[in-house]
Amino acid sequence: MLVDILITLLKIFFILGVTVGFFAPILTWVERKQSAIMQDRIGANRADILGFRALGLFHCIADALKMFTKEDFIPRGANKILHTLSPIVAVIPAIVTFAVVPFGGEYNLFGKQVNLVISDLDVGILFVFAVASLATYGYVVAGWSSNNNWSLLGSMRTASQMVSYEVTMGLTIIGVLMVYGTMRLTEIGAAQENFFNWGIFLQPLGFFMFLTAAIAENKRIPFDNPEAESELVAGYFTEYSGLKFGMFFMAEFIEMVTIAALVTILFFGGWQIPFVSTESITSLFDFLGTTASNAIAMLIHVGVFFGKVVFFIWFQMTIRWTLPRFRYDQIMNLGWKILLPLSLINVLVTGAVILARS
């Protein structure tokens, strides 16, 4: 029992370290540098320690120090309690969703089966949608509690956009669930050991619709109308500063990691390597013993999983710095008139194919 608790704590600390400790701060640097490269600029490179600039990486530390030392401003007439709670409500779901996302398979270490997921729920994908939808309240309440017209408009856009695309995003993965016959993310990942059984081959339309809806849920360009600096100043977090603003900022980047992880698990084989099975890896290192060979396979799979995650983070960044912002009516039309009907058609076609093959 104690061993199980320790293993779970290690997995929690690992996920927190990777998402909050590594990806959240480093993505601020990645966004600046990638945009600079795409726009033929140098990018952030002024912050230094003892003359060393490390390609601008020290800007992550400078940003953190700036947020820690900035004044926590609450505007006159704002609801202080809700204004303070909103960024917390926005950032926690982004972190908690990773509890059911597997970052590796099942391995025999020291005579014990270790599953690389914090909580292997039977309804893992439903848990992701249920928890992720709670973040909407944080954004909506942030705009309302700020006593600012621009913030209120931003929160209203957030509510309508996130509710609209949640419907579509949920329907886009129904085809995946039908194909693999489970809502457990670990089983979906394990079912893709065969390269041609990856979700991208079985549900290509579902992949494109899911990624589009997920980016819209995260309110990133070209779907950033809830912020829309040229129209609403900064939207729902106009009246936020310091660490509260930093929490909204961090939530957006953590959600990027979550989107990349879900796309990897549902459509791109999770931790699986094309044409290389887990047994082939462990058999290659059998001379080291069961625990050592499984540990090597585990490290390789974790590296492969996060390698795919990094690729889809890069892909989201590329979209963010390539496409212009859509008009709000275009966003609503895309969600309700194009993606929603296509997702329903995808479910019907998938069901027909499954029925025909049974």
Q: Which residue range forms the structural domain that includes residue 297?
A: 75-357
Nearest one of 316, 309, 207 to 258, comparing CA atoms: 309
Q: Is residue 18 part of a domain?
A: no
- The mean pLDDT value for 175-194 works out to 89
Q: Is residue 13 part of a domain?
A: no
Q: Is residue 273 part of a domain?
A: yes
Q: Is residue 129 part of a domain?
A: yes
Report pLDDT for 209. Answer: 92
How many domains in the chain? 1
Q: Is residue 269 part of a domain?
A: yes
126-173 per-position pLDDT tens digit: 898 888 888 888 888 888 888 888 888 888 888 888 888 888 888 888
Q: Is residue 268 part of a domain?
A: yes
Q: Is residue 67 part of a domain?
A: no
Q: Is residue 14 part of a domain?
A: no
**What residues contact 239, with CB distance under 8 A and at least 6 apart?**
73, 74, 75, 78, 83, 146, 147, 148, 151
Helix axes 290-320, 242-267, angle to 10 degrees: 120
**pLDDT of 81 strictly over 90:** no
- Which helix (H) or strand (E) segment is 165 a member of? helix 149-172
Entry field: residues in the chain: 358
**What residues contact 337, with CB distance under 8 A and at least 6 apart?**
none
- The mean pLDDT value for 286-311 works out to 88
Report pLDDT for 1. Answer: 66
- pLDDT-based confidence at 310, cuts 50/70/90? very high
188-243 per-position pLDDT tens digit: 988 898 888 898 999 999 999 999 998 888 888 888 877 777 767 777 778 787 78
